A and B are shown apart, each in its own frame.
Chain A
């Protein structure tokens, strides 16, 4: 991937609304044929980034380069990219074929070409034969696929997708995730995807950009983001985790509330305060005395694949997931494999402080 050409460069982009900074000296490179996802909570600036790329919002400062050419002030209708909007934004007074043909008609393509393209695009999104249907007669998922078809017939170099699955129900969302990935592979164009759903981001992307408060928190493959969060925000935002204050006693040993755990990290120095991230599914629950700390199960909820339990141990409430159920009140012990303990530096500024997960999930919509 590294050897592929850079398609879009966003350089030192800043944007504020009514004095509130949304993007602050934001830099991002997008490579050709990449599925890149901007992930973050509401107000993190991801939609603004997309709108700046689409040409709907002008940055206060900074430049946008497309194949090295400055397109910062190019109007939206001249840009070689197309957008799929959160609420589909289909034209309700036109039928499906007219919706898809909209961009092609403007660019003055012949009628035969347009007809072929419509057929091709509908086939691509598995909606062949829907040409003359009214927009309102389609389900949400179908409308979303039409919106995608409408965008891709114009053969954009980059497809911008703004939470396109946000309005769909879970089952449909999962189906559409696979469809999008398949489309991406078939079309071979760059996808820039915006979402606040970490599962979506991890499932589909080649590269995930985690954003918060106008800054990039971490950029990397889904595996890197999940397994090696660089700070507490990323750890907290990506999946459930236990984020615990700890002290790095020495290389490969971390002390949590007085209990020493072996780990695989080194180079933090001696007796350095750190944050420790432990994924709930990585906590090994055993019989009392078998683990590092003994504790008591305080709650137990069945959530489908596994049980989610809280275990009070060593003065800390541990969030655990296990396929085995331990009754509330039963005495257990906990342990963690060294490679599952992720050590992070304490945040340097207030901004990087982890925000609670409730805040993130509280508002579903991005602005």
Chain B
């Protein structure tokens, strides 16, 4: 039958296969290529480079997260495998009815949503007063791995060669001896697959880890997730590539061994007598190889020069921050200067950080939060007042920022700004009429039909509404229903002109010349300019949103002096420069005003950066900060947003 299929059918088959392989591996291939791109951008190729690999191995946080991921996965899957196999032994001895009940119970956690599992495990820990740490993550991972082990081992038990266990007893073996000598080799394939399944599940897990981890404990998934705010750095591509290649190698090697053994068996059975059966060896070998690789990786990671050794005498400062939101080297610098060990932990959004502080699930000494969240937390009495006598460097805080702080922390008792910025329009000089950007620029340019299909608007309620409200001369925090109607109508009018509604990837789309104009925050501009020198930025004349991310101390703080020292350190000249260079966000520090970053792009001095990051007084006067609208306001905004989206 198979041989008679026609040539077109064969070609169709091959094509189909090719398509499947293509779609399966295209994303991974793209990622691997990008990991060698010397540019940070995902949109353009700027030459081959290994710098991300270098950066990856130099990045202690990344290496520590990798170490955590591997050790947690290794221990969790080993312990879960032992417990799971023991459970199978017990269940195998049960009557059919009881066993099916237990199998049902076993399957429920598998089908249960991760988020439910994660939250319930977290709640149980808190209920019993266990503070979240490395152990709780490990415990949670063991918990969710056990069902997978049982699921893959149980069928092997049911298939067990009839009565081999009894036969061993009959021949004089003790129950334990019989189990290890006779039963274990038979169920080994199930155990191996259960172990591997657990291992991958553990490495993959984000949700459950997220809920059960303590301060400073990161796995790769939580670390990567927390870095989304700044944008995934190419080091992640490098890391993903390394992991993928290792997995591939393990697979290839284990397959190679298995094939070897099969051939040996075939040859031997053809010859007849000489064959010596090596039952279960191939699985054992595979297992050994995989274990060896994992252990080697974990050990290698552990022994790379890591954070300054033991906890210092002065204690630990737990910092809860947006991912990748300070120069990582400052952690060591802070230790050298003050003697405090810093443990950093990360979140992606304010909304993610808020419940952690509110429910006190982990104890942090210093947090970083946006203006409106500071406002909310002050009102809910979640923050401690700052002792500014311990923060002498606060004298370097720019004055114009102090004015904006009146909006969310009147009198500045609770917070100290870390970064700030504006929203404006990023444009590609090559793709727009230069005339349009001479002199004052209006938000109205985003409604100019000349740029139809070349405009990127924000894909979030407040930012899109802010742009429109400012254009119409309203407040971005308006609660007037008529103004809201007008804003929505204006947004709908703009719809046909918009190329894309995008948040994080607006920057990359601009770098890749996909659009001419985009609404973007000032912090992303230098980053984008680095990869595409045609890009420029302007804050429209109608004014815009000013945002501030501030340091604050939650009530859970255990090391207040350390927290003060940290904030003070952040205002030092060296830290301000380091953060600015690392983040390219505006740092509200007067010491930076004279600082001209000379070799940001080779040989070229960017003087305009001051302008981009620090708008003129005139512009700032027309700016506002994002305010909490209250529940009714939120309802109205989302109602009109839905209306706009559905049109």
Which residues does A use to contact B, with CB under 8 Å? Answer: 18, 54-56, 75-78, 82-83, 85-87, 89-95, 102-103, 106-107, 129, 132-135, 137, 150-151, 154
Closest to A135 in B: B277
* B111 → chain A closest CB, angstroms: 31
Q: A77-B172, A91-B181, A150-B167 are in contact. List 10 more A-B contacts (CB 8 A).
A: A56-B169, A56-B170, A78-B172, A83-B167, A85-B167, A86-B163, A89-B161, A92-B279, A107-B172, A154-B171
Interface pairs A-B: 6 shortest CB-CB: A93-B279, A103-B171, A89-B167, A134-B277, A89-B163, A76-B169
- Contact across chains for A94 and B162 when beta carbons are under 8 A apart: no
Known: A106-B173, A134-B269. Contact between A76 and B274, CB under 8 A?
Answer: no
Q: Is B646 an interface residue (CB 8 A)?
A: no
Inside 8 A of B95's CB, which chain A residues have their CB? 18
Are B279 and A77 touching (Cβ within 8 A)?
no
Task: Indicate if the CB atoms of B171 and A82 lie closer than 8 Å.
Answer: yes
Q: How many residues of B contact A (CB 8 A)?
A: 30
Complex CA–CA separation, A351 to B269 (angstroms): 54
Which of A18, A75, A102 is within 8 Å of B171, CB to CB?
Answer: A102
Q: Which residues of A contact B269 (CB under 8 A)?
A: 134, 137
Query: Is there contact, CB below 8 Å, between A93 and B169?
Result: no
* Cα separation A288 to B173 with both chains bound (whole Å): 69
Give the distance in Å from the alpha carbon of A75 to the alpha carbon of B177 in the complex. 14
Which residues of B approach A to under 8 Å, CB–CB? 95, 161-164, 166-175, 177-178, 181-182, 185-186, 265, 269, 273-277, 279-280
Tell me the complex Cα distance, A133–B178, Å.
22
Q: Which of A85, A91, A133 has the most CB of B within 10 A?
A: A91
Q: Known: A107-B172, A154-B172. Is A89-B277 also a contact (CB below 8 A)?
A: no
Cβ contacts A to B, 27 pairs, < 8 Å: A78-B172, A83-B167, A85-B162, A87-B163, A89-B167, A90-B161, A90-B167, A91-B161, A91-B164, A92-B186, A93-B277, A93-B280, A95-B276, A102-B168, A102-B171, A103-B172, A107-B172, A132-B273, A133-B273, A134-B275, A134-B277, A134-B279, A135-B277, A137-B269, A137-B275, A150-B167, A151-B170
Give the docked Cα–Cα distance between A83 and B170 (Å).
7
Question: CB-CB < 8 A to B277: which residues of A?
Answer: 93-95, 132-135
Using CB atoms, name the residue of chain A closest to B162: A87
Report the Cα distance A154→B276, complex, angstroms: 24
B169-A77 in contact (CB<8A): yes
A106–B177 CB distance below 8 A: yes
Identify the closest chain B residue to A95 (Cβ): B277
Given contacts A91-B182, A150-B171, whether A76 and B275 have CB atoms under 8 Å apart is no
What residues of B have a CB within 8 angstroms of the CB of A56 in the complex?
A: 166, 169-170
Question: Main SS of the interface on chain A?
Answer: loop
In the bound complex, do residue A89 and residue B279 qualify as a contact, i.e. CB atoms below 8 Å apart?
no
Asked if residues A89 and B169 are in contact (CB atoms below 8 Å), the reply is no
Q: Is the CB of B174 within 8 A of A77?
A: yes
Contact for B173 among A18, A54, A77, A89, CB less than 8 A:
A77
What is the CA–CA distance of A154 and B273 in the complex, to the nearest angstrom? Answer: 25
Residue of B nearest to A154 (CB): B171
| Nearest A-chain residue to B182, judged by Cβ | A91
A116–B168 CA distance with the chains assembled, in angstroms: 21
CB distance from B41 to the nearest CB of A (A): 55
Q: How many Å lie between the Cα of A151 and that of B170 in the bound state?
A: 9
Closest chain-B Cβ to A12's Cβ sits at a distance in Å of 25
Give the distance to chain A from B286, nearest Cβ to Cβ, in Å.
15
CB distance from A197 to the nearest CB of B (A): 19
Q: Which interface residue of A77, A103, A150, A151 has the most chain B CB atoms within 10 A?
A: A77
Find the B residue at minimum CB distance from A85. B163
B164 to A: closest C-beta gap in Å: 5
Decide if A83 touches B166 in the complex (CB within 8 Å). Answer: yes
Beta-carbon contact of B170 and A76 below 8 Å: yes
Q: A138: shortest Cβ distance to chain B, in Å?
A: 11
Residue of A nearest to B281 (CB): A93
Pick the contact of B169 from A75, A129, A154 — CB < 8 Å? A75
Q: How far is the CB of A325 from chain B (nearest CB, A)?
A: 45
List of A residues within 8 angstroms of B274 by Cβ? 132
Query: How far, in angstroms, from A76 to B280 measured CA to CA in the complex?
Result: 27
Q: Give the nearest-CB partner of A81 in chain B.
A: B170
Q: Which of B162, B166, B169, B276 contacts A132 (CB 8 A)?
A: B276
Interface centre among A18, A77, A90, A93 (most CB of B within 10 A): A93
Q: Smallest Cβ distance from A134 to chain B, in angstroms?
A: 4
Residues of A near B178 (CB, < 8 A) are 77
Residue of A nearest to B161 (CB): A92
What are the residues of chain B within 8 A of A55 when measuring CB–CB?
Answer: 169-170
> In the complex, which residues of chain B have a beta carbon less than 8 angstroms from the beta carbon of A54?
166, 170
Query: What are the residues of chain B within 8 A of A102 when measuring CB–CB?
Result: 168, 171, 173, 181
List of A residues within 8 angstroms of B280 by Cβ: 93
Are B166 and A76 in touch, CB under 8 angstroms? Answer: yes
Contact B166 A85 (CB under 8 A): yes
Given the known interface contacts A85-B163, A87-B163, the answer about A133 and B169 at a Cβ–Cβ threshold of 8 Å is: no
Chain A residues lying within 8 Å of B171, measured Cβ to Cβ, are: 77, 82, 102-103, 106, 150-151, 154
Residue among B166, B175, B178, B186 with most chain A CB within 10 A: B166
Query: B272 — nearest CB in chain A belongs to which residue?
Result: A133
Complex: how many Å from CA A56 to CA B174? 13
Residues of A within 8 Å of B167, CB to CB, are 83, 85, 89-91, 150
Are A89's CB and B172's CB within 8 A?
no
